Amino acid sequence: MTTSSSADIFGSNEKPVDWSRGNLSVKNGVQCRALEVGTKPSFSVGNKFQFDDVIEAQQFDRDTLSAIFDVALEMEKIEKNSRGSQILKGYLMATLFYEPSTRTRLSFESAMKRLGGEVLTTENAREFSSAAKGETLEDTIRTVEGYCDIIVMRYFENGAARRAAMTANIPVINAGDGPGQHPTQALLDVYTIQREIGKLDGIKVGLVGDLANGRTVRSLAYLLAKYENVKIYFVSPEVVKMKVDIKDYLTSRGIEWEESSDLMEVASKCDVVYQTRIQRERFGERIDLYEEARGKYIVNQDVLNVMQKHAIVMHPLPRLDEITVDVDVDPRAAYFRQAKNGLYIRMALLKLLLLGW
């Protein structure tokens, strides 16, 4: 077993971490990674989870994903068949949300409480925490980690979760960092596809809407690249097309992708139509560009009519008008089931980070 230098791990700020190389450790200001040579992580009960933090989708290989999904199934049984569990009794989770959230924050808090743990929460930390006084993120993390056992953080800047993980001596979970990534959303999305479609290899997925600013679709693309014979269609207004880094990543992994302006044609081919909201908050003062993009691609009854019977419509929520409400009654509308799956995935991650396999 050896360790790699911080330069090897992090490189420049723009270069993604190579999570596949081993277990990230950035404790007490020292950045290192233990390398397992020629072995796969063990998922035996009682073994330590191989990651100290959950920062980006690239961390996970398909074996680890499968094992996490098995734990999520157990969490689903706990939630459905009992009044919860006490396995995390005595543990405290802090949720630091510098951007608005409903599903992510509440599902993490529900997950912690259903496993017997307690929650310290701030819903609008950007305005109502010491950040409003000018405190740095690093100082906030150093302070908050003294009060809890794990931090779940949403921040408005790309890369903030990695900065927090480098600072903290306790686990950090990225609950969204600006237009960067949302790894737990991607995990629950892939889990949902597996539960709904029954497979992940060989599927066709249409990613629709704000692909330039959508951290959910970026993280999902990274995870879909772990599977075989996947094809991804990008359907978006010109001003919010998928960025080149994701396209290059998919190409480097041998994943076929195609850009299209025809939602109806894509919907007729896909197993999953993954719709997203045009994010007004990412346009700044360019309201003209927002208005240009909004409303161009809408999932409605006409789209459902061309979709295959087994296919599903997903959405990370919240929605505005990009999925009409009459779609909700169709059994292929999976987005509320998708949101519920977030509880099970987050229960699994809290258990794994705090207790191990």
What residues are labeled active site? 103-104, 133, 154, 182
213 three-state secondary structure:
coil
User: What beta strand segments (E) does the chain contain?
Assistant: 23-27, 30-34, 92-97, 118-122, 150-155, 172-177, 204-208, 231-235, 256-260, 272-275, 312-314
Buried b (16+ CB within 10 A) or exposed e, 171-181: bbbbbbbbbbb
CA distances from 314 to 70, 184, 337 (A): 22, 15, 9
List CB contacts of 315: < 8 A, sequence separation 6 or more: 274, 275, 276, 277, 322, 323, 335, 338
Buried b (16+ CB within 10 A) or exposed e, 279-304: beebbeeeeebbebbbebbbbeeebb
